[in-house]
Amino acid sequence: MTMPTTPAERAILLEALRWKKFPVLDDGFVALVDCMGDDGSVVQAARVSYGEGTRKVSDDRQLIRYLLRHAHTTPFEMAELKFVVRVPMDCWRQWIRHRTASINEYSTRYSLAIDSMQGTHDGEWRSQAATNRQGSGELLPKSIGHRHTQLEMELQSFARRVYEERLEAGIAREQARKDLPLATYTEAYWKIDLHNLLHFLALRMDPHAQLEIRRYAETIGQQIVQPLFPLVWEAFLDYRVDAMRLTKLDREVIQRLVAQSGKRGLPASHEAFLAAQHPSWASLERSRERDECLQKLIALGLVEAGLPDVPGAPSSDPVHTSTIHPSRSQP
Q: Catalytic amino acids?
A: 204
DSSP-assigned beta bridge partners for residue 192: 81
The helix (H) or strand (E) run that includes residue 291 is helix 288-299
The type of residue at 51 is G
Spatial contact of 85 and 30, defined as CB atoms under 8 Å apart: yes
Helix (H, G, I), strand (E, B) or coil at 203: helix
Phi-psi category of residue 192: left, alpha or beta, with phi > 0 → left and psi -120 to 50 → alpha: beta
How far, rounded to the nearest angstrom, does the alpha carbon of residue 260 sit from its chain's CA centroid?
38
The span from the CA of 146 to the CA of 122, in Å, is 5
> CA triplet 284, 290, 292: central angle to 5 degrees?
145
Task: Report which of 238, 240, 239, 236 is spatially closest to residue 39, judged by C-alpha positions.
Answer: 236
Listing DSSP states for 198-212 in one string gives HHHHHHHSSTTS-HH
